[in-house]
Chain A
Amino acid sequence: MVVLTRSKLFSILGLLFLLLIGSVLLTLFFGPAQINLKLPEVFSQFSALLRSQELSKDGTILFRIRLPRALLAVLVGGGLALAGASFQALLRNPLADPYILGVSGGSALTAIIGMIIAASSSFVTVPVFAFGGALAAIFLVLAVARTGGKLPVITLLLAGVVVNSFFSALVMFVLSVASTQHLPSAIYWMMGQISSKNYSTVGMVAVYFVPGIVVLLSLSRDFNLFSLGEESAQQLGVNTERSKLIAFIAASLLTAVAVSVSGLIGFVGLMVPHIIRLVFGPDHRLLLPASFLFGGIFLVLCDLISRTLIAPAELPVGVITAVLGGPFFIWLLRQSRERMIR
């Protein structure tokens, strides 16, 4: 049956949620360091964590290093996928993605400026700066790409490329004039990584994410109507200008917060919604939450690869997603070109 019922919605999301739990557990017990804990010890260590007591060496690896890292990967992956699905709905373009549109690049620039200004690690300055950069980037791309009141695919992609390289030039400029001590860590951060994180970072991301996620989910039926074109959406009762503005702001917020904790992780927002659409169809009331969950699964597993592939060294997870995402993007572009010709 085609129709989205509550039971269909919740059983699919429930299934994805179980897979998410499974991949987090998988990543907890896999890694360069061997964990020799029996199941009861795992539980006792976990309850010690909850009561903020001292943990054993293995317990520390599990619950103070791997678990917060996995949770952060879930949030970042989910946020980027949800932002991607939203941009794709708003622009009526399956190739839209925060990274390709230059929104991540804009966030990165202002996040770096924020990092330099705020001497200590900051839970306000960097995300707020990144948010400003994200908004500037998306509205710049839209202004550049709009031709005659329309947003053609080609100009949108070109505008994204141009805005991206503009922002990365500015990043290099800022890093060159700033003191050299920032340089190595900043470049590593730019490549996209989820490492050396703690629970307060996870909490910070969650606090910023909740309003963004709620707002986007509340717009999911409007996103469906956008697929019919903006004029038809208006004629079906949607205040399109308001919905679009709110959605752009919320999707930019998710992107900015993700970038400010983990740098540039590309293509998650492109691949994840597309796979969900292929399997479950395009209805945004399912697509948006499912993309969030699957984005979490995807990035947790990519992160697992990134820290085990050349262990004990680590690859930036952005390298893994780009290696997967590049060919995927080309495949998608060919597909949409075929559809354009048809």
Chain B
Amino acid sequence: MNTLEVKDLSFAFKRTQPMLDKISFSLESGEVLGVIGPNGSGKSTLIRLLSGVLKPDGGTIFLQDRPAQKFSRRERAQIIAVVPQQTSIEYQYRAMEIVLMGRSPYLQRFELEGLRDLEIARNALAATDCLELEDRMIDELSGGERQRIILARALAQEPQILLADEPTTHLDLHHQVKFMRLLSELRRSKPISILFTTHDLNLASIFSDRILILDRGRVASFGRPEEVLDPELVSRIYRIPLKLVPGVFEKKPLLFPEIDS
């Protein structure tokens, strides 16, 4: 079953310059989809369209086989949660307060979080390995801890689809791998589909079930990593010669730039 289906999605900030041009793909339930592509290929725009921050100029997004525009903002926030690249949080909230904000799509206007919301937030903190950070001020946390709290906030929304926009860009190697491992392990405990964008081709290869390559607003390729990560195609898109190193990590293809020595 597809939880998310995108048909001929188009978007342009300026009429002459389409950011996305008739994109089509699907996200199956329980799947991890990595989206890669050079700067300006439309990755972030895609995330903002899927999360409803931007309105498409053409095409349709289907959530659970219903057109996305039929959902209210709150309903959409109960299905889709977003982990941004970097969050600047104004005012000194504690980590738990941030995670509980993920419950707001479920609360009435004057309603405070109840015991059930608290339990969901605790489970989210446990799933991202940050239970001990609960009472800490958010601006005292390291980048990696902070990004895990933001992930916990997204999980507290109990989404069926998790969108992550370059979630590891500002993290060091340790936290990159830790974050991605947490992300892919989420599927074990609950039915959740994940779409993430990244600049790291090998991170995408290792952690994705399928990969979508965007190039100047169009789908250049879409499929399993070993089908899609063709060195010739990817070299052309990134305009740099790449060499394929096959089968090092669970038969996933890895790509490295060829640097003349």
Partner pick for A2 among B52, B74, B76, B135, CB 8 A cutoff: B135
Rounded to whole angstroms, the CA-CA distance of A282 and B92 in the bound complex is: 6
Chain B residue with Cβ nearest A231: B53
Q: Which residues of A have CB within 8 Å of B48?
A: 231
Q: Which residues of B have CB within 8 Å of A2?
A: 94, 96-97, 134-135
Chain A residue with Cβ nearest B74: A237
Rounded to whole angstroms, the CA-CA distance of A86 and B100 in the bound complex is: 21
Q: Which residues of B have CB within 8 Å of A285?
A: 112
Q: Which residues of B have CB within 8 Å of A4?
A: 97, 112-113
Interface bits A235-249 vs B (CB < 8 Å: 1, else 0): 111110000000000
A203 at the interface (CB under 8 A from B): no
Q: Which residues of A have CB within 8 Å of B139?
A: 339
Most chain B C-beta atoms within 10 Å of own C-beta, residue among A92, A235, A239, A283 = A235
A146 at the interface (CB under 8 A from B): no
Rounded to whole angstroms, the CA-CA distance of A189 and B135 in the bound complex is: 47
User: What size tier do the contact residues of chain B reach?
Assistant: 35 or more
Interface bits A1-38 vs B (CB < 8 Å: 1, else 0): 01111100100000000000000000000000000000
B73 at the interface (CB under 8 A from A): yes
B33 at the interface (CB under 8 A from A): no
Interface bits A211-248 vs B (CB < 8 Å: 1, else 0): 00000001001001101110110111111000000000
Q: Which residues of B have CB within 8 Å of A224?
A: 93, 97, 101, 104
Pull 22 A–B residue pairs with CB atoms less than 8 Å apart, ordered by A.
Answer: A2-B94, A2-B96, A3-B113, A4-B113, A218-B109, A221-B104, A221-B109, A224-B97, A224-B101, A227-B93, A232-B87, A234-B52, A234-B53, A235-B51, A235-B53, A235-B77, A236-B101, A236-B105, A237-B105, A238-B73, A238-B104, A283-B93
Binding site for A on B (CB under 8 A): 48, 51-53, 72-74, 76-78, 80-82, 84, 87-94, 96-98, 100-102, 104-105, 107, 109-110, 112-113, 118, 134-135, 139, 157
